[in-house]
Structures are given as C-alpha cells and as structure tokens.
C-alpha cells in the first residue's frame, strides 16, 4: 500500500516576507532564486561585491532592485529576511551588519569553517533577538524527508544500520576558492550528509573519520572520506564519499535497515550536478506487507525544490515566534560532527562531538 510520504516543506500562512539576497554566485542562480520563484516568495532585491554578477542575476530572475552595497540592502525597510550566500569566511561580518540592522537571517552552510566563529555568529543573532536559520536544505531532500516520515511512523522499526554511499566526479574548479581550503569534503559537501543523518537519527556518541586525496589532485583538501557514526551497541551509520570517480558508473545512495523494514534511495542531483534528476525511494515494511516493495519516484529535485525548505521554515518560525528547524544552535551540532571528523582524521581515534567547543 503506497504511503503519503509527507516530504514537502510545511509552509506557514504568511509567505510574503521581503527577502534581500547577499551574493549572486553559483548557488543563488542554480538554487535559491529558482526555488523562491517556484514557491512564490517575495524577493525584494540583491547585492554582490561583483556588481556585474548582481545585475545579470537580477535580469535573469526579474528581481527589481540591485543594491550598490550591503549597507544599501540593509537600509531598505522592505527587506525583512537577509539571505546570505557567500563563502563562509565572509559570513560573520555580514551577520554582524545584518543583526545590527535587526534583520532575520538565512545563512549558508557551513555557518563558518571555524567553529568558534560559528558560535559567535549564533550568539550575535541571539543577542539581537533575531531568528537565524542555516541553509542545510538536504534535510528537505525528497529521499531524506520521506525516510524520516517512515522512521517517525515506526514503519522501519528500530534503526540498525544507515549508509550514505556517494561516488561521483566533482569538478572543484567550478569553485576556485574550494581548491585552496584545507578542509574540503567534510566541511563543504559531507556536511549535508552529516546534517541529514542528524535529522534522521539525532546526534551520535562518537565520530570515526578517515580522509584522503587523489593522485595529482587539484584541490588542497580531502576529496575522499569515510565516516562512521556510533550511536549505540545496536545502531551505527556510515557516510562514504568519493569525488574522484571519473567513470560513467557514478552513484549516490541512501539505505536504512531497521528491525521492521528498510528504505533504499538515490540522490538524483548527484547523477548530473547541478541539474540532476528526481530522487527515488524504495521501501518495504513488515508492518505494511513483508512481501511488497514500494517504489516511489518524486517529481521534485534536491535542487531547486529542497531550497524552499529552510526559507519556508524560517518564515513559519518568524510567524509563530519559535526556533526554525535548522536554527543556529542546532547547526552547531552539525558543525561539531564535521570538526569531530577532522579531529578523528588528525588523531586517528574516535571523537565525541562534545569534545568540539
């Protein structure tokens, strides 16, 4: 029997908060603006330190206001939510300015590549009394969100094993700054899988990671990682990522095995980034019918559709005066996992997330 997988973002009643975007780079053009257009969100204007990029993006998406500076964007009372999409080392200063202007905030992931600075960012928003959400939108990826529904309904029973296994070719040259960072996969890519695992199973007790590069590789940081999350004696999770698969047999899969059922999905985006194809999810539960496997193919895609999730959730949180799901404190736990992974690689041991910070 086919289930309603209840995977779409739950939006509030008020969805016309004015959005001002800082940064008009790759991800804003590929994901933020297409998603907001689809959802009918109210983008007031944007700015970028590269004025030409800002002007071109505004033309492409019919955004009426291009601000000459961040200050001009923050001065506009029509901008209620500031959507920051710049590399993480520039994010803290923008948060400082935006919180001083009393704006609500959607920040890009990683919140910061330096854990102590991420804490400062969260504290700035708390001190200013504004909401801060982080754009960890893979939680709203269709296969991830549907798996969460199955788990929450008890249809998979107690989880025993979870695996995200990704083997793709990533063209890092598309992000010149990514070639120079010391921490690459865990900080900028696997952070999505770590956050998704947290959204499904909570915070693990310990993190074991191993990282490697590739012969003659162009990036300074690691492009191959394996991470084990230890939750309990009866449940562990694995995240395995290889960015150097130059063959045509790439894959990006999720599998959850529980005492009553299993779910197995694909992340369609990674088969042809950033266009991709829809996710798939197959599942079976003894509580429905042990002899039946249900195959689900989604209409939506990780990019752009999942980007409606964090912005829609932030709007609902503002309207209901509560914390958004990917609020700053929650995101620090994801960053603890990332940093525990790096410490594990360096010290060749299991690291408890609480050791970070």
Ligand X SMILES: NC(=O)c1ccc[n+]([C@@H]2O[C@H](COP(=O)([O-])OP(=O)(O)OC[C@H]3O[C@@H](n4cnc5c(N)ncnc54)[C@H](O)[C@@H]3O)[C@@H](O)[C@H]2O)c1
Q: Give all strands of the β-sheet with 65-66 in edge-to-edge order.
A: 65-66, 42-47, 18-22, 81-84, 104-107, 132-134
Distance of closest approach, residue 87 Cβ to ligand X, in angstroms? 5
Of residues 245-274, which lie at the interface with ligand X (CB under 6 A)? Answer: none
Interhelix angle 142-152/191-201, nearest 10 degrees = 20
Distance of closest approach, residue 286 Cβ to ligand X, in angstroms? 35
The span from the CA of 88 to the CA of 283, in Å, is 37
Distance of closest approach, residue 4 Cβ to ligand X, in angstroms? 27
Bond prior to 274 in cis (omega within 30° of 0): yes
Rank residues 28 and 256 by Cβ distance to ligand X and give the closer one. Answer: 28
Bond prior to 272 in cis (omega within 30° of 0): no
Binding marks (x or -) toward ligand X, 157..176, rule CB under 6 A? ------------------x-
Which of 9, 20, 34, 88 touches ligand X by CB under 6 A?
Answer: 88
Which of 35, 66, 81, 86 touches ligand X by CB under 6 A?
Answer: 86
| Range in contact with ligand X (rule: CB under 6 A) among 11-19, 33-41, 79-87, 313-321 | 79-87
Interhelix angle 115-128/91-100, nearest 10 degrees = 10
Rank residues 172 and 208 by Cβ distance to ligand X and give the closer one. Answer: 172
Of residues 6-65, which lie at the interface with ligand X (CB under 6 A)? Answer: 22-28, 48-50, 53
Residues 48-66 as b/e (b if ≥16 CB within 10 A, e otherwise) read beeeebbeebbeebebebb
Distances (CA, A) of 198 to 128, 301, 332, 338, 344: 28, 21, 12, 12, 18
Work out whether 180 is an interface residue with ligand X (CB under 6 A). Answer: no
**Is the four-CA dihedral 233, 139, 269, 155 of positive or negative sign?**
positive
In terms of Cβ atoms closer than 10 Å to its own Cβ (0-12, 13-18, 19+), residue 70 is buried
Which of 17, 67, 188, 193 touches ligand X by CB under 6 A?
Answer: 188
Residue pair 83/133 in contact (Cβ under 8 Å)? The answer is no
Binding marks (x or -) toward ligand X, 112..151, rule CB under 6 A? -----------------------x-x--------------
Which of 90, 152, 180, 232 touches ligand X by CB under 6 A?
Answer: 90
Distance of closest approach, residue 257 Cβ to ligand X, in angstroms? 27
User: Which residue's beta carbon is nearest to the bound ligand X?
Assistant: 25
Work out whether 70 is an interface residue with ligand X (CB under 6 A). Answer: yes
* Beta strands 159-167; 235-242: pairing state: parallel
Rank residues 135 and 284 by Cβ distance to ligand X and give the closer one. Answer: 135
Q: Which residues bind ligand X (CB under 6 A)?
A: 22-28, 48-50, 53, 70, 85-88, 90, 94, 108-109, 135, 137, 175, 188
């Amino acid at each position: 029997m086919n289930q309603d997988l209840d995977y779409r973002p739950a939006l509030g009643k008020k969805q016309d908060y004015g959005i001002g975007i800082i940064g008009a780079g790759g991800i804003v053009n590929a994901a933020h603006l297409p998603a907001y257009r689809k959802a009918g969100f109210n983008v007031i204007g944007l700015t970028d330190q590269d004025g030409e990029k800002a002007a071109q993006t505004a033309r492409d998406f019919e955004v009426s206001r291009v601000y000459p500076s961040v200050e001009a964007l923050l001065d506009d009372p029509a901008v209620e939510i500031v959507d920051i999409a710049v590399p993480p080392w520039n994010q803290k200063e923008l948060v400082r300015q935006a919180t001083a202007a009393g704006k609500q905030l959607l920040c890009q992931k990683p919140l910061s590549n330096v854990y102590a600075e991420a804490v400062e960012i969260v504290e700035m928003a708390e001190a200013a009394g504004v909401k801060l959400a982080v754009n960890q939108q893979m939680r709203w990826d269709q296969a991830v969100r549907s798996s969460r529904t199955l788990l929450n309904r008890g249809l998979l029973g107690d989880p025993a094993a979870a695996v995200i296994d990704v083997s793709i070719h990533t063209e890092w040259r598309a992000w010149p700054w990514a070639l120079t960072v010391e921490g690459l996969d865990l900080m900028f890519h696997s952070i999505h899988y770590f956050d998704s695992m947290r959204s499904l199973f909570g915070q693990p007790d310990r993190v074991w990671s191993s990282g490697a590069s590739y012969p003659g590789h162009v990036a300074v940081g690691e492009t191959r990682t394996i991470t084990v999350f230890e939750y309990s004696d009866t449940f562990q999770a694995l995240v395995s990522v290889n960015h150097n698969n130059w063959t045509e047999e790439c894959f990006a899969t999720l599998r959850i095995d529980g005492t009553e059922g299993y779910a197995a999905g694909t992340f369609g985006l990674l088969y042809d980034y950033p266009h991709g194809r829809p996710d798939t999810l197959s599942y079976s539960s003894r509580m429905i019918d042990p002899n039946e496997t249900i195959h689900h193919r989604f209409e939506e895609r990780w990019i752009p559709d999942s980007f409606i999730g964090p912005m829609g959730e932030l709007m609902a949180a503002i309207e209901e005066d509560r914390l958004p799901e990917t609020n700053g404190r929650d995101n620090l736990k994801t960053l603890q996992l990332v940093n525990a992974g790096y410490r594990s690689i360096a010290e060749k041991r299991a690291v408890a997330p609480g050791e970070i910070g």
